[in-house]
């Protein structure tokens, strides 16, 4: 009889061999070309730090008619997952691998801190991106928006044009002012927004450039892949005042009422199950009636709502261009967020204190920027640099627990919408379990494009970890598989209806996701054998992909690198 370790190892080998047909598939094969006509175009739209409930068709009061329309004419996933943070999520999405396998167990800012391949902080050259594979298969490949897969000032080896994209416009860093973004790049060239461009707003620029890319690509007569990676709704809280004004007074009832309203709408939409319940308010957050700074708190959420509203408006530009060109029906549009809603609080920065590259000292007009969550300063303009923090992050992730950084559902659950009139038979809502590592195999199968045997540097391409979602599009079930997460010691495993999860440095928890996806009833003590088996399976996966024990010896001390979010000063005042 095999030992548990031998059984896990043999299972992993069997899982890898299941992907061999993908390596051998010819460019003329594939589901889409054989059964649905000409090769489809692909538009993949990524939001940034947007929570599960932040768009209308997933429970929000924010006006998102474009996304709502795509959902009504397509497929909405209720159980789709990302990674808990920006860099790991984007690496997994673009390679079909777990983030550690792509060198992105941590962030690009951690480059050269950790002597482990899984934590290189620079997208591994021993991987294949979606753009590289599709370009080799005859697609025009384009990207607009946030890259965040290589550090600045370390060479062009991992810029978008060097990783398979024909055209690129966006920011290389992970954050930027919306009115004057640092690290703005056109192709390989750094650029700056002109001082004369008074109306520049990054979300608008990404939407405009995406639409232009589509128009240009359509003239070539080839299928195209567009990756539109918006920065909305990542901090800083910034939006044109006319859009913020749409939401004036909408949040005067506070976060408790808003969470309840969103949950009620989710129930009516069939997005969540009543038996799961709504998680309690974060214990660091007071009841709304005891909050000290109502006007400021409302303004924070008003600006965030405006950011998501503008994201939706610019998705509308993309859809309008596809419709104008007569190619909407044969274009697969996918939408998701890179991680759960963000509870990070922006620390105040004193005059003369060093600032990160993405945080300007002055606006383009020469006015000083006042960074940090200060209740005496209303956010929204280019002179501020704030976040919406723990209370509203808790709301964004309704009905789930925790946030970005963590492997509980609030950190790894995302809306996932697929709209493809010519290719999706099963429309409406699906409860199939998916993960962003599934995006690459899905795109390749529908495009009839082979997964390369070699990377661009000549090394063997690692076997894809994800599975094609084409069966779901056809109304068929996906084969059962296990999924895994790890970031900053926050770890999880999903096996069927069971989820193993731990917030560092806490103990393992076990949940029945069929009856308790809000993770409020820990069953670890009730099912010790299942718990031990899942821990063993997780450990085998962690070893396979290069996960290191957290914190690592090289982890900077005193830097909250465990993803902890201390209670900010303004909340310490809010007690009855």
Burial class (CB in 10 A: 0-12, 13-18, 19+), 571: buried
User: What's the predicted TM-score (pTM) here?
Assistant: 0.93
For 512, the token pair is 């029945």
Query: How far lies 376's CA from each of 137, 295, 361, 370, 373, in Å?
Result: 55, 10, 19, 11, 9
Active site residue 148: yes
Residue tagged active-site, from 83, 86, 334, 443: 86
Enter the tokens of residue 464: 């894809």
What would the DSSP string read from start to end of 328-364?
A: STTEEEEEEESSS---PPPPP--TT----TTS-SB-T
383 near 369, Cβ under 8 Å? yes
- pLDDT reported for residue 124: 98
- Among the options 31, 81, 100, 148, which is catalytic? 148
Three-state secondary structure along 165-194?
CCEEEEECCCCCCCCCCCCEEECCEECCCC
Q: Are 105 and 99 in contact (CB under 8 A)?
A: yes
Q: Give DSSP secondary structure letters for 196-263.
A: T-TT--HHHHHHHHHHHHHHHHHTTTS-EEEEEE--TTSSS-B--HHHHGGGTTTTTTHHHHHHHHHH
Q: What is the pLDDT of residue 483?
A: 98
Query: Among all chains, which residue has been given the structure tokens 């290069």?
Result: 546
The sign one gets for the Cα dihedral 286, 338, 56, 467 is: negative
Pick among 3.40.50.300, 3.30.505.50, 3.40.720.10, 3.40.225.10: CATH of 4-483+552-572:
3.40.720.10
Question: What's the CA gap between 401 and 207, in Å, rounded?
Answer: 32
- DSSP E strand stretches across 26-149: 41-47, 75-81, 140-146
Residue ranges for the chain with pLDDT beneath 50: 1-36, 576
Distance separating alpha carbons of residues 59 and 267, to the nearest angstrom: 8
Compute CA distances 299 → 59, 254, 363, 372, whole Å.
Answer: 21, 11, 21, 15
Q: Which has the closest alpha carbon to 121: 146, 148, 94, 97? A: 148
Note the pLDDT of residue 97: 98
List, in sequence order, the alpha helices (H) in 474-551.
Answer: 528-545
> What gap in Å lies between CA 174 and CA 323, rounded to an integer?
31
Q: Catalytic site residue 86? A: yes
Residues 6+ apart with CB under 8 A from 141: 131, 134, 135, 164, 165, 166, 167, 224, 225, 227
Average pLDDT of the chain, as a whole number:
92
What does the pLDDT look like over 97-155, one tens digit per residue? 999 999 999 999 999 999 999 999 999 999 999 999 999 999 999 999 999 999 998 99
Quickly count: other Cβ atoms within 10 Å of residue 37's Cβ.
Answer: 11
Residue bearing tokens 């973004």: 181
Give the residue among 546, 554, 552, 509 at the shortest CA–CA distance from 98: 546
Using CA atoms, how far apart are residues 446 and 443, in angstroms rounded to an integer?
5
**CA distance to 163, 550, 559, per residue, from 556 (Å):** 31, 12, 6
Q: Distance from CA of residue 328 to its chain's centroid?
A: 24
Element (H, E) at 153: none
């Amino acid at each position: 009889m095999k030992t548990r370790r031998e059984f896990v190892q043999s299972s992993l080998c069997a899982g890898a061999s299941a992907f061999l047909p993908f390596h051998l598939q010819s460019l003329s094969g594939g589901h889409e070309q054989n059964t649905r006509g000409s090769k489809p175009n692909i538009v993949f739209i990524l939001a940034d730090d947007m929570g599960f409930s932040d768009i209308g068709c997933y429970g929000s009061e924010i006006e998102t008619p474009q996304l709502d329309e795509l959902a009504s004419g397509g497929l909405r996933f209720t159980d789709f997952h990302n990674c808990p943070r920006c860099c790991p999520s984007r690496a997994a999405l673009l390679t079909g691998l777990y983030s550690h396998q792509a060198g992105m167990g941590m962030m690009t800012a951690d480059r050269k801190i950790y002597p482990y391949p899984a934590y290189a902080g620079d997208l591994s050259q021993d991987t294949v991106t979606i753009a590289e594979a599709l370009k080799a298969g005859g697609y025009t490949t384009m990207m607009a928006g946030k890259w965040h897969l290589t550090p600045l000032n370390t060479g062009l080896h991992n810029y978008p044009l060097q990783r398979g994209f024909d055209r690129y416009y966006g920011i290389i860093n992970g954050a930027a002012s919306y009115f004057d973004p640092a690290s703005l790049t056109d192709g390989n060239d750094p650029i700056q927004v002109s001082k004369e461009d008074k109306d520049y707003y990054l979300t608008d620029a990404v939407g405009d450039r995406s639409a232009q890319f589509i128009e240009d690509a359509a003239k070539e007569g080839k299928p195209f892949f567009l990756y539109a990676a918006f920065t909305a709704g990542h901090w800083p809280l910034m939006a044109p005042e006319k859009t913020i004004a749409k939401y004036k007074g909408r949040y005067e009832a506070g976060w408790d009422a808003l969470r309840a309203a969103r949950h009620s709408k989710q129930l009516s939409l069939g997005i969540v199950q009543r038996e799961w319940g709504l998680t309690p308010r974060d214990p660091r957050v007071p009841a709304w009636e005891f909050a000290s700074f109502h006007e400021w708190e409302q303004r924070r959420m008003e600006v965030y709502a405006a950011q998501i509203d503008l994201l939706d408006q610019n998705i509308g530009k993309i859809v309008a261009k596809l419709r104008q060109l007569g190619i909407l029906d044969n274009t697969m549009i996918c939408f998701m967020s890179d991680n759960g809603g963000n509870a990070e609080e922006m620390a105040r920065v004193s005059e003369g204190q060093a600032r990160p590259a993405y945080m300007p000292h002055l606006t383009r007009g020469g006015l000083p920027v006042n960074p940090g969550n200060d209740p005496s300063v209303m956010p929204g303009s280019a002179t501020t640099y704030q976040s919406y923090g723990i209370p509203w992050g808790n709301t964004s992730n309704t009905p789930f627990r925790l946030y970005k950084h963590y492997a509980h559902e609030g950190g790894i659950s995302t809306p996932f919408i697929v709209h493809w009139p010519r290719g999706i038979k099963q429309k409406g809502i699906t409860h199939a379990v998916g993960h962003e590592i599934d995006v690459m195999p899905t795109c390749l199968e529908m495009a009839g494009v082979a997964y390369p045997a070699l990377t661009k540097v000549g090394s063997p391409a690692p076997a894809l970890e994800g599975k094609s979602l084409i069966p779901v599009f056809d109304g068929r079930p996906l084969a059962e598989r296990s999924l895994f997460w790890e970031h900053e010691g926050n770890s999880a495993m999903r096996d069927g209806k069971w989820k193993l999860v731990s917030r560092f440095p806490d103990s393992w928890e076990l949940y029945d996701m069929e009856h308790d996806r809000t993770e409020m009833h820990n069953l670890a003590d009730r099912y010790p054998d299942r718990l031990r088996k899942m821990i063993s399976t997780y450990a085998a996966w962690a070893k396979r992909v290069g996960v290191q024990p957290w914190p690592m010896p090289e982890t900077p001390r005193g830097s909250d690198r465990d993803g902890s979010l201390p209670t900010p000063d303004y909340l310490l005042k809010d007690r009855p």
